[in-house]
């Protein structure tokens, strides 16, 4: 597998950084090389947040790059800011629950994910919107073996957070591309 650079972007409070962390830990458990670089404003919720995750079978020389292979846009400003960085042929995942603008590119693969509709409707837990998006990405792109996500969730969600694992697992498997 060649290195894949993934940018996950949105507002603080949308679980953007957690998506990146779960990809990073899953890649580590899948014996891949990985880097995770978060970027966020001083606000806890509502400010901008994004992270870059690089996953590869070979050592990663630098996580910094001008392009990405996969872009997750959880809100409109993130789509506008990061869409130009997506490589031609790359995967663009759009949170159709909150993004009201259309992508400008026609040389990328666009996947619309109704994160809120699925999280609230099928899962019954609006807080799993980020897991719906994570599942869409993992099930569409060859990043890591999706079977590792169980181990990753158990590793990240310990103690009081363990009670959220069942809903998160269901959310990861809920999206189906139409």
Give domain status of residue 25, yes or no.
Answer: yes
- pLDDT above 70: residue 84: yes
Q: What angle do CA 10, 94, 70 make, to 5 degrees?
A: 85
**Residue 24 pLDDT more than 80?**
yes
Integer Cα distance of 71 and 114 in angstroms? 16
CATH at 132: 3.40.920.10
177 assigned to some structural domain: no
pLDDT at 165: 96
155 pLDDT higher than 90: yes
Reported as half-sphere exposure (CB side, CA atoms, 13 A), residue 114 has a value of 9
pLDDT tens digit sequence for 98-151 = 999 999 999 999 999 999 999 999 999 999 999 999 999 999 999 998 899 999
DSSP SS3 for 177: coil
Structure confidence by residue, pLDDT tens digits, 32-79 = 999 999 987 665 566 779 999 999 999 998 878 889 999 999 999 999
pLDDT on residue 43:
57
Q: For the chain, how many structural domains are there in total?
A: 1
Instruction: Please compute Rg for the chain using Cα positions.
Output: 15
**Structural domain contains residue 153:** yes
Cα separations in angstroms, 59 against 31, 38, 124, 144: 11, 20, 41, 16
Question: What is the model's pLDDT at position 62?
Answer: 81
**61: exposed, middle or buried (Cβ count in 10 Å: 0-12, 13-18, 19+):** exposed
Supply the range of the domain harboring residue 31: 4-172
Given a contact cutoff of 8 angstroms between Cβ atoms, the answer to whether 33 and 59 are in contact is: yes
Q: Which two tokens stand for residue 143?
A: 């990043």
- pTM, two decimals, is 0.94
């Amino acid at each position: 597998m060649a290195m894949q650079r993934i940018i996950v972007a949105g507002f603080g409070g949308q679980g953007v950084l957690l998506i990146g962390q779960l990809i990073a830990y899953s890649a580590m458990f899948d014996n891949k090389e990985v880097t995770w670089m978060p970027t966020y404003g001083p606000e806890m919720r509502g400010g901008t947040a994004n992270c870059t995750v690089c996953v590869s079978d070979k050592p990663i020389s630098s996580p910094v790059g001008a392009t990405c292979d996969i872009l997750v846009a959880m809100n409109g400003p993130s789509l506008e800011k990061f869409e130009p960085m997506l490589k031609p042929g790359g995967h663009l995942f759009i949170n159709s629950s909150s993004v009201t603008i259309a992508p400008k590119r026609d040389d990328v693969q666009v996947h619309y994910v109704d994160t809120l509709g699925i999280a609230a409707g099928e899962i019954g837990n609006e807080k799993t919107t980020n897991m719906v998006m994570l599942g869409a990405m993992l099930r569409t792109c060859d990043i890591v073996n999706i079977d590792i996500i169980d181990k990753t969730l158990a590793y990240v969600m310990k103690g009081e957070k363990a009670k959220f694992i069942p809903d998160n697992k269901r959310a990861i498997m809920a999206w189906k591309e139409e």
